[in-house]
């Protein structure tokens, strides 16, 4: 076993008492007969030559000496392991805090404090001002400048300088015994050497702190510039999104409004009159309304506030959709309910009127045929008879409308039916002054009730002839096939229908003619609805009217 001992003539001032050395031991290292190769582990560090004479007195003795492994107590091993484990656990804890979203600068403060504490403990355990681990203070200072900028560099530099001074003084004076942390034990050191070594280390830390301050200042300026740039970029992005979201009118808007694509990009109020009033009434809340732009175009409008990143209202976003078909179905449903009530009432009235009318008509006819009736009375009785016939026809229409027979659909050629109906109409005196033309696809197969569709076409022809302009009247009939429907269109060159009357022309008893009953178009609408189709009307005052009947090809 190796037994280290001090020299017989110790250096000037003697050796400090410690666990490995004392005054009465020789300076030589002797190896016993049973020594093992591990003796090499008992190394004396920088021991002075006892025979050096004056030269040995001019040089201070070495300050550090290594102890043998078997002389380190188990408590020291556990204490060292605990410090290492605490260091790792602290680093892991700070890493978890960063992963969970804690601000890096907030995590940096306790992390820097922990680094300085561990570094100070390590520096003290390894000789204070002579410790080879003083450079760890410099790493903490540089890290503080990178994470906390100028302020962090100053604070950590001052903390490192203070800690180094304290631990160096404690190590030099051996005020606290931490020999269990290390196998390195200090020799006695003069105040001059201690002050010189400590001053060099402090100067180095001050220099590192100055560089870290400059580095942190540049980083802080760069971070401020980056934050300003990011804010400007965010504002530009918000402005770009606001511009995109508040386009005046895109192609889809022009398509819904039925406007040519050239109007895309025009102010929306130009395409939707009345929108400005709706937008002006809103004060940051969402508003909804329906705009009737024309007789056949209803738009549902939603006006929402446009806000920037600071939640300030900077404009309005207008979303709209075509509600024409929805409103048409709603109107059709209301009309059907109203017509059902009118039909029930009309059926009861018609039955009560028809029987007295038959008696009156028969009596007038007998009086007309009597030989004693004056000529003047005959003329009056003819007028009465004609009006009775008109009332009887009205009652017949009422009964047909109130109690319609269910359709009897069959397969037939609609083109043939249209041609036959126009041929009969040309032979009627009521159509004598009407010039009728047609353009019909052949063949035009359809599955429907031919008698009811013939009645629809006849009523439309009669209305077109009555509405045509004075003089030469023109009525054009078209029939063609689409993917899933068959279309019949009747067009006249009459005076047209006013916009406020278009929504009422299919109501019973509504008519614009002095001699009309107001049941013709109502009956047409009911028949087409029975077949699952619909009638669309387009009219322009002064230019004419177009009735478009759409009937499904197969049901």
What CATH number did the domain enclosing 395 receive? 1.10.287
Pair of tokens at residue 234: 């965010």
Q: Is the pLDDT of residue 322 over 50?
A: yes
Report the alpha-carbon distance of residue 399 to residue 66 in Å, rounded. Answer: 126
Q: Does 229 map to a domain?
A: no
Distances (CA, A) of 288 to 27, 97, 276, 302: 103, 49, 13, 4
pLDDT one-digit tens code per residue, 168-180:
888 888 776 655 5
Residues 316 and 363 in one domain: no
Domain extent for 537? 411-552
The pLDDT value recorded for residue 546 is 92
Residues 24 and 104 in one domain: no
Report the alpha-carbon distance of residue 178 to residue 170 in Å, rounded. Answer: 10
Report the alpha-carbon distance of residue 133 to residue 123 in Å, rounded. Answer: 6
Closest listed residue to residue 160, CA positions, set 209, 198, 193: 209
Residues 194 and 286 in one domain: no
The domain boundary residue, chosen from 402, 424, 458: 402
Count CB neighbours of 220 within 10 A: 16
Residues 213 and 80 in one domain: yes
Distances (CA, A) of 387 to 357, 360, 361, 381, 523: 10, 11, 10, 10, 22
The pLDDT value recorded for residue 42 is 34
CA quadruple 381, 384, 390, 393: dihedral positive or negative?
negative
The pLDDT value recorded for residue 186 is 52
For Cα atoms 145, 149, 151, give the angle at the middle one, nearest 5 degrees.
100
Residues 395 and 419 in one domain: no
Q: What is the CA radius of gyration of the chain?
A: 55
Looking at 188-323, list the stretches that DSSP marks H as alpha helix, in order from N- to C-terminal side: 191-245, 251-256, 268-271, 275-280
pTM over 0.85: no
pLDDT one-digit tens code per residue, 509-550:
777 776 666 778 888 888 898 888 989 999 888 888 899 999
Place of tokens 């159509």: 431
- On whether the CB atoms of residues 330 and 356 are closer than 8 A, the answer is no
- On whether the CB atoms of residues 287 and 278 are closer than 8 A, the answer is yes
- φ/ψ of 307, rounded to 5, equals -115, 150
- On whether the CB atoms of residues 525 and 548 are closer than 8 A, the answer is no
Residues 422 and 535 in one domain: yes
For Cα atoms 481, 296, 324, give the angle at the middle one, nearest 5 degrees.
90
Report the alpha-carbon distance of residue 539 to residue 542 in Å, rounded. Answer: 9
The pLDDT value recorded for residue 478 is 94
Closest listed residue to residue 252, CA positions, set 301, 320, 306: 320
Q: How far is CA 104 from the centre of its chain?
A: 31
- On whether the CB atoms of residues 41 and 61 are closer than 8 A, the answer is no
Pair of tokens at residue 103: 């601000």
252 by Cβ neighbours in 10 Å (0-12 / 13-18 / 19+) ranks as: exposed
Residues 180 and 274 in one domain: no
> 222 pLDDT band (50/70/90 cuts)?
confident
Closest listed residue to residue 289, CA positions, set 331, 252, 319, 246: 319
Q: Does 56 map to a domain?
A: yes
pLDDT one-digit tens code per residue, 261-294:
555 556 666 666 666 666 666 555 667 777 777 7
What CATH number did the domain enclosing 456 receive? 3.30.565.10
Q: Does 236 map to a domain?
A: no
- On whether the CB atoms of residues 323 and 256 are closer than 8 A, the answer is no
pLDDT one-digit tens code per residue, 335-390:
777 767 766 777 777 777 777 777 787 787 777 777 776 777 777 888 887 778 77
Beta strands in 345-433 (DSSP E): 410-413
- Indicate the number of domains in the chain: 5
Question: Which carries the bigger pLDDT value, residue 401 or residue 122?
Answer: 122
Report the alpha-carbon distance of residue 18 to residue 5 in Å, rounded. Answer: 12
Q: Does 348 map to a domain?
A: yes
Residues 132 and 27 in one domain: no
Residues 258 and 215 in one domain: no
Q: Does 275 map to a domain?
A: yes
Residues 177 and 294 in one domain: no
Q: What share of the chain is helix, strand, coil (3-state, %, to 5)?
A: 55, 15, 30
Stretch 317-336: mean pLDDT:
78
Q: Does 41 map to a domain?
A: yes
DSSP 123-162: HHHTTGGG-TTTHHHHHHHHHHHHHHHHHHHHHHHHHHHH
Residues 157 and 291 in one domain: no
Question: Is it true that the peptide bond before 326 is cis, omega within 30 degrees of 0?
Answer: no
Q: Does 284 map to a domain?
A: yes
Q: Does 424 map to a domain?
A: yes
Residues 434 and 496 in one domain: yes
Q: Give the chain's end-to-end CA distance (angstroms, integer).
A: 113
């Amino acid at each position: 076993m190796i037994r280290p001992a001090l020299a017989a003539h110790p250096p000037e001032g003697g050796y400090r008492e410690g666990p490995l050395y004392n005054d009465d031991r020789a300076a030589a290292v002797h190896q016993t007969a049973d020594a093992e190769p591990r003796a090499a582990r008992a190394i004396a560090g920088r021991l002075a030559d006892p025979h050096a004479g004056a030269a040995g007195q001019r040089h201070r003795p070495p300050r550090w000496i290594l102890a043998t492994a078997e002389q380190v107590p188990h408590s020291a091993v556990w204490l060292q392991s605990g410090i290492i484990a605490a260091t790792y656990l602290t680093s892991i804890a700070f890493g978890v805090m960063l992963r969970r979203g804690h601000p890096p600068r907030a995590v940096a403060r306790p992390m820097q404090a922990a680094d300085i504490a561990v570094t100070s403990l390590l520096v003290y355990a390894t000789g204070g001002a002579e410790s080879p681990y003083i450079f760890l203070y410099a790493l903490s200072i540089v890290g503080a400048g990178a994470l906390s900028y100028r302020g962090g560099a100053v604070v950590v530099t001052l903390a490192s300088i203070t800690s180094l001074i304290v631990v160096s003084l404690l190590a030099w004076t051996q005020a606290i015994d931490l020999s269990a942390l290390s196998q390195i034990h200090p020799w006695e050191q003069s105040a001059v050497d201690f002050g010189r070594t400590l001053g060099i280390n402090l100067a180095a830390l001050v220099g590192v702190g100055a560089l870290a301050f400059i580095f942190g200042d540049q980083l802080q300026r760069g971070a401020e510039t980056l934050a300003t740039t990011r804010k400007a970029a965010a504002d530009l992005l918000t402005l770009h999104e606001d511009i995109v979201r508040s386009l005046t009118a895109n192609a889809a808007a022009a398509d819904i409004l039925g406007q040519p694509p050239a109007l895309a990009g025009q102010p929306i109020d130009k395409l939707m009159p009345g929108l400005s009033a709706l937008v002006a009434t809103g004060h940051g809340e969402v508003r909804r309304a329906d705009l009737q732009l024309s007789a056949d175009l209803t738009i549902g409008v939603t006006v929402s506030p446009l806000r920037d990143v600071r939640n300030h209202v900077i404009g309005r976003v207008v979303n709209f959709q075509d509600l024409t078909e929805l409103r048409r179905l709603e109107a059709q449903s209301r009309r059907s309910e109203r017509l059902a009530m009118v039909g029930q009432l009309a059926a009861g009235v018609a039955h009560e009127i028809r029987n007295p009318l038959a008696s009156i008509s028969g009596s007038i006819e007998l009086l007309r045929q009597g030989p004693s009736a004056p000529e003047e009375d005959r003329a009056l009785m003819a007028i009465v008879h004609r009006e009775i016939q008109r009332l009887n026809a009205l009652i017949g229409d009422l009964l047909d409308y109130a109690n319609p027979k269910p359709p009897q659909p069959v397969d037939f050629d609609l083109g043939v039916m249209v041609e036959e109906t126009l041929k009969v109409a040309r032979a009627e005196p009521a159509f004598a002054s009407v010039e009728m033309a047609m353009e019909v696809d052949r063949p035009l197969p359809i599955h429907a009730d031919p008698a009811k569709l013939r009645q629809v076409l006849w009523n439309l022809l009669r209305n077109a002839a009555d509405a045509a302009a004075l003089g030469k009247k023109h009525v054009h009939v078209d029939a063609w096939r689409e993917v899933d429907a068959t279309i019949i269109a009747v067009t006249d060159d009459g005076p047209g229908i006013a916009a406020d009357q278009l929504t009422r022309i299919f109501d019973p008893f509504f008519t614009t003619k002095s001699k009309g009953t107001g049941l013709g178009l109502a009956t047409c609408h009911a028949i087409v609805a029975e077949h699952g189709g619909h009638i669309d009307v387009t009219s322009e005052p002064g230019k004419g009217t177009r009735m478009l009947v759409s009937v499904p090809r197969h049901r």
